[in-house]
Structure formats: structure tokens, C-alpha cells
């Protein structure tokens, strides 16, 4: 099963979910930035008032400095946060998408392929397990038996030592044999 090692190529899988969360990320970052500007501005105001001379001059020069530093921050921060946001949200959107595809396959073919699996470090692991259990509980009888024998065969293949000594010991290789619809 080479798919396991593949890196994700599509980063934006569920656009609405991901964009909404990324939006929240960026908004939070902007609020934090603004908060700092307000705080520092306040402090400078107090400082310039307390100064004996040239306080006005300092106060006059402060706003452009603030604006410039906010612009710099936004230029750096917004792309960085968007990137982090997409990567983080992908851990949720990815498995959700995988489960949807799994369900779609079942709905279209009427057959239950092998259980749905999601990446190890992704979220929603528990949901995926429950989904498999629920599908097992309600799947048609005939399919259940077929899948069981399928699984037994698969287990036997996985347990068997590699038959070809020249090859790399890729234990899960035989599981590629059944045709799979959703490997796009």
C-alpha cells in the first residue's frame, strides 16, 4: 500500500470548512496585532506627556511608525497564518473527505469495500472506527460474509512471509490487488 506514504497533494479539500477556520485564524492574529498597536500607542502618549521637551515632536512622529510596522506585520503574518491554518485544518478536512468518499463508494456500488482508514496523525480517528463498526452492523448479510472471507484472505496474505526473497519486504503489497474505485 504505497498510498500511505504519499504526501497530500491537495491541501484545500473542503474549502468552506477550511476557509472559515483560516479566516478565524487570521482574524485572531489581526486582533492581537491591533491590540499591541493600541497598547503601545497609549504608552507613547503617556511617555511624551511626561517628557520635559520635544514630547510633541515624538507624538507627531509616532503614527507613521505605527502604520508602517502594522503593514509589515500584516504582510508577513497573514500569509504565514493562512499557511498554518490550511495545514492545521487539513487534519480535519482530509479525513472527513476520505470518509465521504468511502461512503459514496458504498452508496454507488452497494458493496462494502475494506474498512475506511485515515492517516495516523489526523483527527477524527474515533469517528472513522465507529463508522466502520456501524457499517458492519447494518451491511447486507451476503456482503458481510464475502467481506469476511476477503478479510481472512488478506490477513493470511499479510501473515505469510514474503514469497519472493529478492523483493523488498512490503507486507501490505498484496492488498493492492482488489480494484479500488476511490484511488484518485
Partner 1 sequence: MAQTQRKKKLNKPRLQLKMIGIFLAISGFAAFGQALLLAQSLMGLSVSIEDPSVARTVHDAMPGILTTNLMWTALFLLPFIFLVGVQVTHRIAGPAFRIERYLREVAESGEVSAPCKVREDDELQNLADSINRTFQRLQADQQAKAPQKAHA
Residues that bind partner 1 (CB under 8 A): 14, 16-17, 20-21, 24-25, 28-33, 35-37, 39-40, 43-44, 47, 50-54, 57-58, 61-62, 65-66, 68-70, 72-73, 76-77, 81, 84, 88, 92, 96, 99-100, 103-104, 106-107, 110, 112, 123-124, 126-127, 130-131, 133-143
- Smallest distance from the beta carbon of 114 to partner 1, in angstroms? 16
- Smallest distance from the beta carbon of 81 to partner 1, in angstroms? 6
- Smallest distance from the beta carbon of 164 to partner 1, in angstroms? 39
Nearer to partner 1, 87 or 177 (CB): 87
What is the grid cell recorded at 35?
491590540
- The answer to whether residues 109 and 139 touch, using CB atoms and an 8 Å cutoff, is no
Nearer to partner 1, 38 or 177 (CB): 38
- The answer to whether residues 91 and 14 touch, using CB atoms and an 8 Å cutoff, is no
Nearer to partner 1, 110 or 181 (CB): 110
Give me the DSSP letters along 152-179.
Answer: HHHHHHHHSPPS-TTS---TTGGGG-S-
- The answer to whether residues 96 and 124 touch, using CB atoms and an 8 Å cutoff, is yes
- Smallest distance from the beta carbon of 148 to partner 1, in angstroms? 16
Tell which residue, 129, 131, 85, 84, has the closest CA to residue 105. 131
Tell which residue, 145, 98, 141, 151, has the closest CA to residue 120. 98
Nearer to partner 1, 81 or 171 (CB): 81
Amino acid at each position: 500500500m504505497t498510498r500511505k506514504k504519499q504526501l497530500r497533494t491537495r491541501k484545500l479539500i473542503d474549502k468552506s470548512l477550511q476557509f472559515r477556520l483560516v479566516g478565524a485564524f487570521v482574524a485572531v492574529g489581526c486582533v492581537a496585532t491591533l491590540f499591541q498597536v493600541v497598547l503601545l500607542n497609549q504608552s507613547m502618549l503617556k511617555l511624551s506627556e511626561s517628557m520635559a521637551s520635544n514630547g510633541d515632536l515624538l507624538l507627531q512622529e509616532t503614527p507613521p511608525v505605527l502604520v508602517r510596522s502594522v503593514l509589515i506585520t500584516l504582510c508577513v503574518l497573514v500569509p504565514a497564518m493562512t499557511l498554518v491554518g490550511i495545514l492545521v485544518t487539513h487534519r480535519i478536512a482530509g479525513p472527513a473527505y476520505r470518509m465521504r468518499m468511502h461512503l459514496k463508494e458504498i452508496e454507488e456500488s452497494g458493496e462494502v469495500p475494506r474498512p475506511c482508514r485515515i492517516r495516523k496523525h489526523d483527527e477524527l480517528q474515533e469517528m472513522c472506527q465507529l463508522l466502520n463498526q456501524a457499517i458492519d452492523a447494518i451491511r447486507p448479510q451476503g456482503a458481510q460474509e464475502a467481506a469476511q472471507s476477503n478479510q481472512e484472505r488478506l490477513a493470511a496474505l499479510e501473515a505469510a512471509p514474503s514469497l519472493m526473497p529478492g523483493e523488498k519486504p512490503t507486507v501490505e503489497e498484496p492488498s493492492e490487488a482488489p480494484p479500488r474505485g476511490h484511488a484518485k
